[in-house]
Chains A and B, each alone.
Chain A
Amino acid sequence: MCGIIGVVRLSKARLGQPLGQIIRQSLEKLEYRGYDSVGLACIVENELVIRKGKGKIKDVSVAQGFDRLNGDVGMGHTRWATHGKPNDINAHPHRDCTGRVAVVHNGIISNYSLLKQELLARGHRFMSETDTEVFAHLIEEKLAAGYGGYHAFKAALMSIAGSYSFLALITQEPDKIFFARRNSPLVLGISSDALFVASDIPAFLEYTDRVVALSDGEVGFIALDGSVVVEDLASARRVELSGRIRKIGWTPELARKGGYPHYMIKEIHEQPRVLADTVRSLLDDGSYQRAAEVMLSSKRIFLVAAGTAHHATLAARDALLTLGGRVSYPVVSSEYALHALGVEEGDCVVAVSQSGETIDTLLALREFKKRGAMVVSLTNMMDSAIARESDLQLYTKAGPEIGVAATKTFVTQVASLVFLAAKLGVMNGKLREDEYTAFLKHLEEAPELVEKNINVSEPSAKELARILRDRSSMYCLSRGLGVPLAKEGALKIKEVSYIHCEAYEAGESKHGPISLVARMFPVVFVASDTGTFEQLSSNLMEMKSRDAYTVGLIPAGENHTLAVFDYTFTLSSALPVINTILFAPTLQLLAYYLALSRGYDPDKPRNLAKTVTVE
């Protein structure tokens, strides 16, 4: 959950500011990954200088004078605590007993307590409660045994079990940053001015768009002479990089806030554009045809994802049923062990993850694959771990998503999955050619309608947020094809505004949940499935008769009985499966403005990190 950045500066002429400042700015781009503490280490005149502390990057960097640190080799870290509570001492980087080794780490060292006991017995002194620190002491031992810096780093790695991406500075070889990756993301950024190694691309996107995604089990270093060395740890064979350098089509401008106060609202507003990009790519991309063929010939279809992506797979399940003529099984990634029991040769699994690094989804995919399932992945990151390990890769074109709350990746995931379902429907005869053409037309119009719905909803969402800001609990209900969006809306509201929001199928009210409803209890109805309006209308009445405060998302132009809400969003609509995309921004906006009106920062929800890379 942590963020890592290492920088080796090759040209002072073009990157003139102090290295500490470059690292601090990169850390700010990674802050979304986790942010209870922060620190950096630089090599200054062949000595290690470490500065770190608990708190936000801005505060710690001012207190510790990050911007004044200079040098040509340095690394930084934002921490999201797993072992040891967030405080100044547990902040990374960690060092050995001699002060010659500094390490930063993302992941979990599973055998750390055993290693720590052994190291303590051999006389090492530990400063922190972290699992990471054992690695610094292990390197120290190898150095003492006569290994050179790089060999000590590799030898120490051999003792480590668990998941990691590591960076290390060793004063014996002060011109290098050593790195290693296993089950935690790490990418190299390459330019003639500087070399970078980081957890995620936005960290160095301002300086270079040439990127190499490292694979699990790779280890190596970047050095002041401009060399980039990557080896396979197990075989110690040198890895050829030339074919793996990719040019990322993002500009630094895209990764900035563009005048908006938060990434979340900027990304909500980007949805029409990224949706258009995604829809365009769907039509050109032969992979969807192949993915549909895989699904057609598979015995069963499993849909594996977590969080927002899970809600996208719920929409996919409904689309597979209504358009694709197939029953599928959505599985929450972390529950894979149970569901994997039923997976057999001939099954197919669709794994969905924005980052492509979600550890639970990755582990599920591996298990399903081992049992003989074909794996299709849908991610937003080229060459991510999940993409690399799947048989067939599909991509959303959402661009970098920095806000912790997923917004634009949800609508692009739903668009891609619904399209896949329609493709399958055509193949197995569920969808006639004219129905498919009509569907495509709706999908192509979706970006424009999403823009309209954002424009229409935003001022109202802000107003409604003022009305609901003091509520502590609410419901978000729907029926039929609207249910996945109700769940996603409730998740958004929970994660950024900290209002408890529960979603369920509206017909369930009288089986229990309605007992909570009293005067002014807010109930949001997602009326995106026209086929269910009659029943939804009676669910609305049962809420109104208990004096709930009812909010409705309803399609424009429908002359139905639903227009009796206390607060109404009248939205442009299309086919019910596509309405999930069209109506989503309204709930995202409501969540965003609820967070603001309650005084919270929607980009940094407490206890959450953007990419969940630990189990």
Chain B
Amino acid sequence: MDSFDSSIRYAVVLCGGSGRDMEPLSVGLPKSLITLLGVDVLTRILQGLKTAGIEGVIVVIQGSEQLRRRALQVGEELGLEVEVVEQGSLREVWGALVAAKNSLVGRVGEGSFLLSYGDIVSTPRFYAKLVEDSSAAGYPVASVVLQKDVTTYGVVKLGSNGAIEKIVEKPVSLDPNMGGYVLAGAFVLPASIFEFGGEEDGFIGVLNRFAETYTLGISVWEGVWVDLGYPWDVLTASSKLLGELKQSSISIHSRVSPTAIIEPPVVIEEGAVVDHHAVIRGPAYIGRNVYVGTGALVHSFSSLEEGVSIGAYTEVSGSVLGPGTWVGRGCFVGNSVVGMKVVFEPHVTTLSVLRDSEMPARLEPTISNGRPIHKMGSVIGNGARIGANSVLYPSSRVETNATISPNTVLRSRV
């Protein structure tokens, strides 16, 4: 690499991968298509790339027809030139990038491109800052974020010049010699990166080899950033996006009872109905055609995706309810991630307060009354049905399409 061209017009988005750690939420649904606040992850990424001035995107998939269609459709809506490439049997990140090589090199020649993982949730400035930092620096950069629990990420060690010295994948704990900055899954790289690895290489190994020879700078991102690796990351992502809401928006095509109490900021989309005496405490998201029953309480940091229905006197707190989920009357759903088309029969209760030692990887504590409390409700797979009067212990897991009989006390751990 003799010179670095920092004008970036093309991007590669990697949406392959099995999403096994995301089960049961990823059964029958690639994680790039999980919806958060009414927008799926892939669309959010493409919107961000558009904001960063990207003109064309190569989306790498692994067999999902659903993803192929969605990528092309969103590309058309946004005016992005989208090409979908099949990853086939090539493995991991590097394999996915190699799959995109021909299409990419055809477009950028010896220039540079933006690479993004397809399971990242952030706000639109994320990619724009990366591109700006790379162009200001005049060399390739990796976006990095600060994490307390680094054990599931690629941790970067910075040299005294402020550039990446090496990357260590999934260390067992925070290393005082390394620190807490981890790869954020977005990079500006030169096309010559392909000279640094063969088909069987791991991506981190390739980056390390590259960084040994050339400068690989950093772009530190302080805003919303969540890597959707595990089901509870959906909860984190949704609450961070809700935390960014600065004002309410209530569709004129929604129906909110005059006796309902709405505490801003909330988003209420078209077709939604908020019935008498319901209370919605912002920040909260009420999606299209959602029904909130009489006297129901939607507590802050909750997101009810399209078509969700919650019955009278039900309370939802700090949870994400996937599209088409139906919650009967008198339930309590707290700190839980619920997939698509789940049914809660009446009077189901989820419990959520954990002992510190039981916290799953990378889940941040919630702050209650100024003190951190470790809370984790249930993870419920798409299409499951929870019987009436059941009690789900903290961090319970219900498989896709499972049926739980009424009056069950469930203690299965995620």
Question: In the complex the two chains form, what is the Cα distance from A265 to B133 in whole Å?
Answer: 16
Not counting A258-B137, A459-B147, A459-B174, a sample of 12 additional A-B residue pairs whose C-beta atoms are within 8 angstroms of each other reads A259-B137, A260-B220, A273-B160, A452-B177, A453-B176, A456-B179, A460-B148, A462-B146, A466-B367, A467-B370, A520-B369, A572-B176
Contacts of B136 in A (CB 8 A): 256
Q: In the complex, which residue of chain B has the Cβ closest to the Cβ of A572? A: B176
Contacts of A462 in B (CB 8 A): 146, 148
Q: List the B side residues contacting A258 at CB < 8 Å.
A: 137, 162, 217-218
Q: Which residue of B lies closest to A258 (CB)?
A: B162
List B contacts of A458 (CB < 8 A): 146, 179-180
Whether A247 is near chain B, meaning CB under 8 Å from some CB there, is no
Docked CA distance A467–B158 (Å): 28
Measured between beta carbons, the chain B residues less than 8 angstroms from A266 are 162
8 Å CB contacts to A: which residues of B125-159? 129, 133, 136-137, 141, 146-148, 150, 158
Beta-carbon contact of A259 and B141 below 8 Å:
yes
Contacts A256-B136, A258-B162, A520-B371 given: A456-B174 contact, CB under 8 Å? yes
- Per-residue contact bits, chain A 442-475, to B (CB 8 Å; 1 contact, 0 not): 0000000001111110111011001110110000
Chain A contacts for B369, CB-based, 8 A:
520
**8 pairs of residues in contact across A and B, judged by CB atoms under 8 Å:** A260-B220, A451-B177, A455-B176, A455-B178, A455-B180, A520-B370, A549-B371, A572-B176
Cβ of B176 and Cβ of A269 under 8 Å apart?
Answer: no
A489 near B: Cβ within 8 Å?
no
Contact of B217 among A259, A272, A460 (CB under 8 A): A259
Closest to A520 in B: B370
In the complex, what residue of chain A is closest to B143 when comparing beta carbons? A259
Is B106 at the interface (CB under 8 A from chain A)? Answer: no
Q: How far is the CA of A266 from the CA of B147 in the complex (A)?
A: 17
Q: Is the CB of A455 within 8 A of B147?
A: no
Q: Which residues of A contact B133 (CB under 8 A)?
A: 259
Q: Do the beta carbons of A467 and B367 come within 8 Å of each other?
A: yes
A420 to B227, CA, bound (A): 50
Within 8 A of A (CB), among B60-118: none
- In this assembly, does A49 line the interface, its C-beta being within 8 Å of a C-beta of chain B? no
Contact call A596/B222, Cβ cutoff below 8 A: yes
**Count of interface residues, chain B, beta-carbon cutoff 8 Å:** 31
Q: Which residue from chain A places its CB closest to the CB of B175 in the assembled complex?
A: A455
B177 in contact with A455 (CB, 8 Å): yes
Task: Decide yes or no whether B219 CB sits under 8 A from chain A.
Answer: yes
Instruction: Report if A261 contacts B (CB, 8 A).
Output: yes
Chain B residue at smallest Cβ distance from A254: B162
Within the complex, the shortest CB–CB distance from A499 to chain B, in Å, comes to 13
Residues of B within 8 A of A471 (CB): 370
List A residues 108-130 near B (Cβ within 8 Å).
none
Question: Given the complex of chains A and B, what is the CA–CA distance between A572 and B177 in angstroms?
Answer: 12
- Quick one: closest A residue to B149, CB to CB? A459
Complex alpha-carbon distance, A55 and B211, angstroms: 41
Residues on A with C-beta less than 8 A from B174 are 455-456, 459
**Residues of the A chain whose Cβ atoms lie less than 8 Å from the Cβ of B148:** 459-460, 462-463
For residue A447, which residue of chain B has the nearest CB? Answer: B160
Give the bracket for the number of chain A residues in contact with chain B. Answer: 20 to 34
Alpha-carbon separation in the docked complex, A24 to B141 (Å): 26
Those of A553-602 within 8 Å (CB) of chain B: 566, 572, 596
Bound-state Cα–Cα, A258 to B216, Å: 11
Instruction: Please name the residue on chain A nearest to B178 by beta carbon.
Output: A455
Q: How far is the CA of A170 from the CA of B341 in the complex (A)?
A: 75
Give the shortest distance, in Å, between A95 (CB) and chain B (any CB): 35
Task: Report the separation of the CA atoms of residues A468 and B371 in the bound assembly, to the nearest whole angstrom.
Answer: 9
Picked from A256, A453, A456, A467, the residue with its CB within 8 Å of the CB of B371 is A467
Instruction: Kindly state the separation between the CA atoms of A453 and B174 in the bound complex, as whole angstroms.
Output: 12
Per-residue interface assignment for chain B, residues 209 to 235, with 1 indicating a CB less than 8 Å from any chain A CB and 0 otherwise: 000000001111110000000000000
**Interchain residue pairs A-B with the least CB separation, the first 9:** A455-B179, A459-B180, A459-B148, A452-B176, A259-B218, A520-B370, A258-B162, A259-B219, A273-B160
Residue numbers in A under 8 Å from B176 (CB-CB): 452-453, 455-456, 572
Cβ–Cβ contact B158 & A269, under 8 A: yes
Measured between alpha carbons, how far is A572 from B129 in the docked complex, in Å?
34
Q: Which among A466, A471, A549, A596 has the greatest number of chain B C-beta atoms within 10 A?
A: A466
Residue on B nearest A469 in the bound complex, by CB: B367
What is the bound-complex CA distance between A168 and B313, given in angstroms?
73
A454 touching B179, Cβ below 8 Å: yes
How far is it, in angstroms, between the C-alpha of A475 and the C-alpha of B148 when the chains are bound?
Answer: 25
Query: Complex formed: what's the CA distance from A549 to B370 in Å?
Result: 9
How distant is B167 from chain A, measured CB to nearest CB, in Å?
Answer: 15
- Tell me, in angstroms, the Cα distance from A131 to B123 when the chains sit together: 46
- A521 closest partner in B (C-beta): B370
From B160, B221, B222, B364, A272 is in contact (CB under 8 Å) with B160
Q: How far is the CA of A454 from the CA of B157 in the complex (A)?
A: 13
Residues of B near A520 (CB, < 8 A) are 369-371
CA distance A269 to B133 in the complex (A): 18
Closest approach, in angstroms, between the C-beta of A509 and any C-beta of chain B? 21
For residue B162, which residues in chain A have a CB less than 8 angstroms away from its CB?
A: 258-259, 266, 269-270
Docked Cα-Cα span, A366 to B366, in Å, equals: 55
Which A residues are CB-close (under 8 A) to B370? 467-468, 470-471, 520, 549
Give the contacts of A489-527 with B (CB-CB under 8 A): 520
Q: Please, how many angstroms separate the alpha-carbon atoms of A462 and B181 in the complex?
A: 12
Distance of A372 Cα from B145 Cα, bound (Å): 55
Q: A200: shortest Cβ distance to chain B, in Å?
A: 20
How many angstroms between the C-alpha atoms of A261 and B184 in the bound complex?
A: 15
Residues of chain A with a CB closer than 8 A to B221's CB: 261
Residue of A269, A471, A596 with most chain B CB atoms under a 10 A cut-off: A269
**Complex CA distance for A463 and B129, rounded to whole angstroms:** 23
In A259-293, which residues have CB < 8 Å from any B CB? Answer: 259-261, 265-266, 269-270, 272-273
Closest chain A residue, CB of each to CB of B180: A459
Instruction: Let me know if A261 and B180 touch, CB within 8 A.
Output: no
* Contact pick for B220, options A265, A456, A466, A470, CB 8 Å: A265
**Chain B residues closer than 8 Å to A270, beta-carbon distance:** 162
List residues 354-370 of chain B with CB under 8 A from any CB of chain A.
Answer: 364, 367, 369-370
| Complex interface: chain A residues within 8 A of B220 (CB) | 259-261, 265
Q: Which of B159-214 contact A (CB under 8 A)?
A: 160, 162, 174-180
Which residues of B337-385 have CB atoms within 8 Å of chain A's CB atoms?
Answer: 364, 367, 369-372
Chain B residues with Cβ below 8 Å from A260 are 218, 220
Minimum CB–CB distance from A464 to chain B (whole Å) comes to 9
B371 touches A261 (CB 8 A): no
Which of A259, A451, A471 counts the most chain B CB atoms within 10 A? A259
Cα-based distance from A340 to B395 in the complex (angstroms): 68
Quick one: closest A residue to B372, CB to CB? A467
Name which residue of chain A comes closest to B223, CB basis: A261
Of all chain A residues, the one with the shortest Cβ separation from B179 is A455
Residues of chain B within 8 A (CB-CB) of A596 are: 222
Return chain A residues, CB-CB under 8 Å to B147.
459
A273 CB contacts on chain B under 8 angstroms:
160
Which residues of A sit under 8 angstroms from B175, Cβ to Cβ? 455
Docked complex Cα distance between A85 and B353 (Å): 53
Q: Bound complex: CA of A467 vs CA of B220, how far in Å?
A: 22
B41 to chain A minimum Cβ distance, whole angstroms, is 24
Question: Interface centre among B129, B160, B175, by most A CB within 10 Å?
Answer: B160
B364 proximity list for chain A (CB < 8 A): 463, 466
A467–B176 Cα distance when bound, in Å, is 23
* A456 CA / B146 CA spacing, docked (Å): 12
Shortest distance in angstroms between B225's beta carbon and chain A's nearest beta carbon? 12
Contact with A along B12-49 (1 / 0, CB 8 A): 00000000000000000000000000000000000000
- CB contact list, A294-319 vs B, under 8 A: none
A260 to B141 CA separation, bound complex (whole angstroms): 12
Report the minimum CB–CB distance from A270 to chain B (whole Å): 8
Query: In the bound complex, how far is the Cα of B367 from the Cα of A258, in angstroms?
Result: 33
Q: How far is the CA of A453 from the CA of B220 in the complex (A)?
A: 19
Pick from A453, A454, A459 the residue with the most CB of B within 10 Å: A459
**Nearest A residue to B150 by beta-carbon distance?**
A459
Q: Which residue of chain A is the closest to B367 with respect to CB atoms?
A: A467
